[in-house]
Amino acid sequence: MLRKKINPVVVKTQKPAHIGEEMDLLSIKGFSGNAVAAAIKYQDRLDLGLLFSERPATVAATFTRNKVKAAPVLDAIGLLGSGIRQIRAILVNSGNANACTGGRGLEDVRRLRRWSADTLNISKTDILVSSTGVIGELLPLDRIGAAIPGLVAGLSTDGIERVAEAILTTDTVKKTAFRQIDLDGVRSGIYGMAKGSGMIGPNMGPPQATMLAFILTDLKVSPDWWQRALEKAVKVSFNRIVVDGDTSTNDTVLAMANGMAGNDPIGEANLGHEIEKILSELTMDLARQIVRDGEGATKCIELNVTGARSDTDAERVARIICESPLVKTAFFGEDPNWGRILAAAGRAGIELDPERLTLKIGDVELVKNGQGTGTKAEHLAKKIMKARDFDLTLDMGLGDGCIRFLTCDLSVEYVRINADYRT
Amino acid sequence: MLRKKINPVVVKTQKPAHIGEEMDLLSIKGFSGNAVAAAIKYQDRLDLGLLFSERPATVAATFTRNKVKAAPVLDAIGLLGSGIRQIRAILVNSGNANACTGGRGLEDVRRLRRWSADTLNISKTDILVSSTGVIGELLPLDRIGAAIPGLVAGLSTDGIERVAEAILTTDTVKKTAFRQIDLDGVRSGIYGMAKGSGMIGPNMGPPQATMLAFILTDLKVSPDWWQRALEKAVKVSFNRIVVDGDTSTNDTVLAMANGMAGNDPIGEANLGHEIEKILSELTMDLARQIVRDGEGATKCIELNVTGARSDTDAERVARIICESPLVKTAFFGEDPNWGRILAAAGRAGIELDPERLTLKIGDVELVKNGQGTGTKAEHLAKKIMKARDFDLTLDMGLGDGCIRFLTCDLSVEYVRINADYRT
């Protein structure tokens, strides 16, 4: 134990991998993947992916809290609710959300599980399905079914990166992250992929954004700790990002831990805190990639709200600011229009004393005691806003409540993308 | 009394007046107005207006519930809170909101009241001030002060319409409405003007958008009833419109009733209900004009939510849908993307059974029992959405709760306007 306390985790953080960049997936044992073009919505585009673990993997999951849940979400909640704690595979498609498709939609998910399981020679409760895409259309089961044999036949370690590509919709870049972990010589890793660009205002809870994320690790974990660790990581990352604030019917994060690294099981009593931190960093990394690739986004803004009466108050204020169309268009215009930010905070429905508000963009104090600090500061702030990424800090001067949110700007391109999405 | 019951109110509704159109302001006795170009923000643009009543007028008021309130709002709340129930005049400027301007901002409002009152030869508590425009800049008091003598000297009945022009900011059209009332031969009328195009998500309460509206009537009214009647009218009109959902620091509705029609005072016991109805129609008329002229708006959509478990639930769902960027961009794209509407409803945080949801655009049922009714319906819906104005009805199938909201689309032009507002 002492040895572990002295040098518990050696984490070699690698840069997020992007398309065309290599990363050491082989260091995570026992996972493979593949993706094919099944013509779900478009021709000649990867849209069907499979992630597979050689051995049963402990699964943790969070799903959208939207009351209108897609069929694959309902199906997965049902399976996990029935006591399933280990799975072998995740089947995922883009191009069709299988949401608002009623009983038929649910039957289709079960059929996909059965077909995939038969081909993989696993149980039909060893696989979960995720979908993203247009709401209200039935899945083209025939085309998906026809693609499954080739999907399974082509499984490989390198193929995992193809899945990260297959889940994209309006995304312009692939989103992956990787952390290598050395536990006293036991080499292991956590890999994550995510998609999400629009309908991003995730609000996920325990088995209960459309952002999808899949996390794979060969760590051995305690199942209860793994679920709690994922919930904590989602809470501080995906649940604190806003592109448009529209919580999706399909948001899903699934995390598989197959134990093949052979370590002592991670849990509250064994390195739980350290690995939670790494997992949260990984999900935050993916969350930031989602915001940076938000539909039409030209800016990624980190908003820190501090000095609120409670963290809940801080969250409410941060969310309202991050969703405000006037604030987001000002970001797009590189206009340090702090009045809009204060006005947004003021309508958050929480206690607030305007005369205690302080606002900084980067290191530039734009507002002090609720009033602007002058044109020089605005000029400096405008320069900061020319960058792709910048920080905002709103201090409310009332207490210790704080939170960090990520948001993007609202651009002309966002409107173009979404006025055209289905046509 | 019987006579009144038989034929209580003859209302001759006239079409909303637009720029260049005449209307019978003379039928409302005792009011005059004027507006001048005071170079508050731009040169050669009407930006300072004055409304004046020959006799003391009973005043009713609602103000923004935003915790960050502009100086003129704070000043007016203070005055009305001190017991002021009658005023003679309203001074209003555009181009500068006098918000987030601290103690100096408040002093400036008081100075403006005193200067105007002295010139008008009334008490400085007989006048209220309203402002709209950029947040965080001090009013150019010297230029406004210099303009006041000319403003007062030019007061006339026709000048009232000039005030309706002076209050505009990003608005593209003047917004006025008029109702003529005959009470057993006593001829009277209610006239309203409004401004508002962006930062529109009004949430106003009793003396406690930036939208501004001023209502003038020569009816004699019971003061308590007048305030309640205005609150009711604001609740069902201005508080149920969304352009961008950004509640302003300056939203203000002021209603002056100078009693010069000489009728028996209107109150609960005397025609209150009838006049409330007329007042609500008038404010709804103005509210619709605001939404139709929303920044960049190409569509005005009336959303009826029915069948909710309560009116409060209905309101929550309606507001979320009306503020959803994805729903609003679909309106702009004339895309009957009902999945986005259902997804928005699902994140409203209220009880909802997806399988009971029914959605109509105009008379076309797009969704039944939570599922799409097919491509033919979508094709018909798309045609309906080509119109400037159309209706949506979402029935939740759970109870009797209902509400009507008005919203507009989110267009490329909205983003352009707001990315450029200050520069």
Q: Which residue matches tokens 């400085």?
A: B124
Task: Name the residue among B66, B347, B411 with its Cβ closest to that of A347.
Answer: B66
Fold of A2-292: L-amino peptidase D-ALA esterase/amidase (3.60.70)
Which chain B residue's Cα is nearest to A330? B419
pLDDT at B26: 65
**Do residue A423 and residue B198 have CB atoms under 8 angstroms apart?**
no
Q: Which residues of B touch A369 (CB under 8 A)?
A: 102
pLDDT at B251: 86
A395: phi > 0 → left, psi -120 to 50 → alpha, else beta; which? Answer: beta
Mutation target among A108, A340, A358, A409 for the B interface, most CBs of B within 10 A: A340
Q: pLDDT digits over A263-302, tens only?
A: 999 999 999 999 999 999 999 999 999 999 888 999 999 9
**Do residue A68 and residue B332 have CB atoms under 8 angstroms apart?**
no
ipTM over 0.90: no
Which chain A residue's Cα is nearest to B344? A246
> Which residues 6+ apart lie within 8 Å of B99 measured at CB?
A339, A343, B68, B69, B70, B71, B105, B131, B135, B136, B249, B250
Q: Which residue matches tokens 């009466």?
A: A309
Q: Is the pLDDT of residue A6 over 70?
A: no
Helix and strand tally (H, E) in chain A?
A: 12, 17
List chain B pLDDT tens, one digit each, 423 residues. 333 333 444 554 444 433 333 456 667 899 999 999 999 999 999 999 999 999 999 999 998 888 888 999 999 999 999 999 999 999 999 999 999 999 999 999 999 999 999 999 999 999 999 999 888 999 999 999 999 999 999 999 999 999 999 999 888 889 888 988 888 778 889 998 988 877 666 666 654 347 888 989 999 999 999 999 999 999 999 989 988 878 788 888 899 999 999 999 999 999 999 999 999 999 999 999 999 988 899 999 999 999 999 999 999 999 999 999 999 999 999 999 999 999 899 989 899 999 999 999 999 999 999 999 999 999 999 999 999 999 999 999 999 999 999 999 999 999 998 897 554
In angstroms, the separation between the Cα of residue A354 and the nearest Cα of chain B is 6
pLDDT at A199: 67
Q: pLDDT digits over A44-64, tens only?
A: 999 999 999 999 999 999 888
Do A254 and A238 contact (CB within 8 A), yes or no?
A: no
CATH match for A300-419 among 3.10.20.340, 3.30.230.10, 3.40.50.2300, 3.30.70.260: 3.10.20.340
> Which residues 6+ apart lie within 8 Å of B380 measured at CB?
B364
Rounded Cα gap, residues B207 and B73, in angstroms: 9
How many whole angstroms from its chain centre is CA A38?
25
Q: Which residues of A touch B198 (CB under 8 A)?
A: 326
Q: Is the pLDDT of residue A208 over 80?
A: no
Share of chain A above pLDDT 90, in %: 71
Q: Which residues of A touch B421 (CB under 8 A)?
A: 330, 333, 335, 337
Q: Is the pLDDT of residue A1 over 80?
A: no
How large is the C-alpha radius of gyration of chain B? 22
pLDDT at B25: 67
Q: Is the pLDDT of residue A324 over 80?
A: yes
In angstroms, the separation between the Cα of residue A57 and the nearest Cα of chain B is 32
Annotate A101-152 with DSSP letters as a single string: -HHHHHHHHHHHHHHHHHHHTS-TTSEEEEEEEESS----HHHHHHHHHHHH
pLDDT at A250: 87
Please indicate whether residue B74 or residue A183 has the higher confidence score (pLDDT): B74
Q: Give the helix/strand (H/E) hosting A319.
A: helix A311-323
Q: Which residues of B touch A335 (CB under 8 A)?
A: 419-423
Among candidate residues B202, B391, B238, the one with its CA nearest the CA of residue B305: B391
Task: Name the residue among A335, A342, A422 with its Cβ closest to that of B335.
Answer: A422
Residue A170 annotated to the active site = no
Q: At what angle do helices A325-332 and A311-323 cross, to 10 degrees?
A: 60
What is the number of CB-based contacts under 8 A between chain A and chain B? 218
Residues of B annotated catalytic, as ranges: 210
Q: At what angle do helices A102-120 and A141-153 cross, to 10 degrees?
A: 20
Q: What letters, b where the CB count within 10 A reaches 16 and e where it falls short, cover A146-165?
A: ebbeebbeebeeebbbbbbb
**Do residue B346 and residue A134 have CB atoms under 8 angstroms apart?**
no
How do the residues of chain B divide into helix, strand and coil, expressed in percent and rounded to 5?
35, 30, 35
The strands making up B300-308's β-sheet, listed across from edge to edge, are B241-242, B401-408, B300-308, B389-395, B358-361, B364-368, B371-372
Q: Please count the CA atoms within 13 angstroms of the CA of A383 that sit on its side-chain side.
A: 7
- Per DSSP (E only), the strands in B65-211 are 86-96, 127-134, 175-183, 186-195, 204-205
pLDDT at B24: 64
**Distances, alpha carbon B35 to alpha carbons B50, B134, B168, in Å:** 6, 20, 12
Enumerate the domain spans of chain A. Answer: 2-292, 300-419
Mutation target among B98, B246, B379, B416 for the A interface, most CBs of A within 10 A: B246
Q: Is the pLDDT of residue A209 over 50?
A: no
**Do residue A339 and residue B100 have CB atoms under 8 angstroms apart?**
yes
Give, in degrees to the nearest 5, the angle at Cα A365 between A362 and A366.
Answer: 105
Q: What are phi and psi of B210, to 5 degrees?
A: -80, 105
Least confident residue range of A19-28, A73-82, A92-101, B324-333: A19-28
Q: Which residues of B touch A67 (CB under 8 A)?
A: 345-348, 350-352, 354
> Which residues 6+ apart lie within 8 Å of B241 measured at CB?
B200, B201, B202, B287, B288, B290, B291, B405, B406, B407
Q: Is the pLDDT of residue A183 over 60?
A: yes
Q: Please count the CA atoms within 13 angstroms of the CA of A123 that sit on its side-chain side.
A: 8
**Distances, alpha carbon A276 to alpha carbons A270, B100, B150, in Å:** 11, 42, 70
**Do residue A354 and residue B245 have CB atoms under 8 angstroms apart?**
no
Token code pair at residue B223:
């003061």
**Do residue B343 and residue A66 have CB atoms under 8 angstroms apart?**
yes
pLDDT at A408: 94
Rounded Cα gap, residues B176 and B161, in angstroms: 8
Do A207 and A61 contact (CB within 8 A), yes or no?
A: yes
Q: Is the pLDDT of residue A206 over 70?
A: no
Do B133 and B95 contact (CB within 8 A), yes or no?
A: yes
Task: Name the residue among B245, B333, B369 with its Cβ closest to that of A325.
Answer: B245
Instruction: Output the pTM of the full model.
Output: 0.83
Among candidate residues B132, B133, B42, B119, the one with its CA nearest the CA of residue B88: B119
Rounded Cα gap, residues B241 and B234, in angstroms: 10
Rounded Cα gap, residues A139 and A93, in angstroms: 10
Q: Is the pLDDT of residue A162 over 90?
A: yes
**Do residue B247 and residue A347 have CB atoms under 8 angstroms apart?**
yes
**Distances, alpha carbon A303 to alpha carbons A202, A245, A362, B374, in Å:** 17, 15, 10, 43
Q: Is the pLDDT of residue A385 over 70?
A: yes
In angstroms, the separation between the Cα of residue A303 and the nearest Cα of chain B is 18
Of the candidates A101, A210, A252, A358, the residue annotated as catalytic is A210
> Which residues 6+ apart lie within 8 Å of B389 measured at CB?
B292, B299, B300, B301, B302
pLDDT at A366: 96
Token code pair at residue B358:
């029914």
**Do residue A100 and residue B354 have CB atoms under 8 angstroms apart?**
yes
Strand B86-96 and strand B48-64: the pairing is: antiparallel
Task: Name the residue among A344, A411, A420 with its Cβ closest to that of B415.
Answer: A411
**Do residue A412 and residue B412 have CB atoms under 8 angstroms apart?**
yes
